[in-house]
Amino acid sequence: MVRAVRSPSRAGRKFIGSVVVGLAGTALVVACGGSSDGGGSSGVADAGADRRLPGPIHPTASCLVTIETPELIAGTHVPEGTVITYNSNPPASGPHYPVWANFQEYSAPLDEGYLVHSLEHGAVALLYKCDPTTDACKVTIDALRKIRDAMATDPMCDSSIRVRLVIAPFPRLDAPVAAVAWGITYKAECVDVPTLTQFAKDNYARSTENICAPGRTF
């Protein structure tokens, strides 16, 4: 559900900026070991290890927000349909399918193998766990759309893609709302607009393979 947002204190904003920007400040420039539409691997297991947090952080917000940097796992390409076990929920790195999900909103859950490949291409995913037929869930989805719409147009993308944002349900979440980019996760008990917006901006296009090209639509 979306709760009334209390703007973080000045100290809270400084905390968010110093930690999250610090995390995103080091772009992961690791060459892709395989083509984006074929086999092979990209990234290495310890790529970007210097941006990892020593543990979860909880920025000032209107509800409990948890930001973590799980251990990075090499982005190996595996055949579509392969069952993949990830080390975080939602997954932030690791094996994925050779095809990525297009950067758009989905009404049905995405297979994580496609989603992780989208993250490898610099996307940020805004995820939710609620019944989309309920009014509360509709409010949550609308709030996520507004965060997406507030993102600046990506100059790397062609006219078919405005911004590398994915919005989708994610039934196995252990929180009502989450966001994820390559190497970093955000989970919250509500849509806290200031911290979620900051997370999306700070971690956008920070990945091992910064590419904007249309993916598969499901």
- How many domains is the chain built from? 1
**Two structure tokens written together for 131:** 């019944």
In a domain, 213, yes or no: no
> Would you say residue 214 lies in a domain?
no
Q: At what angle do helices 135-149 and 193-203 cross, to 10 degrees?
A: 40
The pLDDT-based confidence of 197 (bands split at 50, 70, 90) is: very high
Side-chain half-sphere of 72: how many Cα atoms within 13 Å? 24
Q: Has residue 96 been placed in a domain?
A: yes
Q: Is 8 exposed, middle or buried (0-12, 13-18, 19+ CB in 10 A)?
A: buried
- What residues make up the domain containing 90? 10-203
Residue 131, SS3 per DSSP = coil
Q: Let me know if residue 14 belongs to a domain.
A: yes
pTM score: 0.81
Query: What is the average per-residue pLDDT within 131-152?
Result: 97
pLDDT tens readout for residues 23-63: 433 333 333 434 444 333 333 333 344 568 899 999 999 99
Determine the average pLDDT of the residues in 115-121.
Answer: 98
DSSP 57: B
Q: Per this entry, what is the length of the chain? A: 218
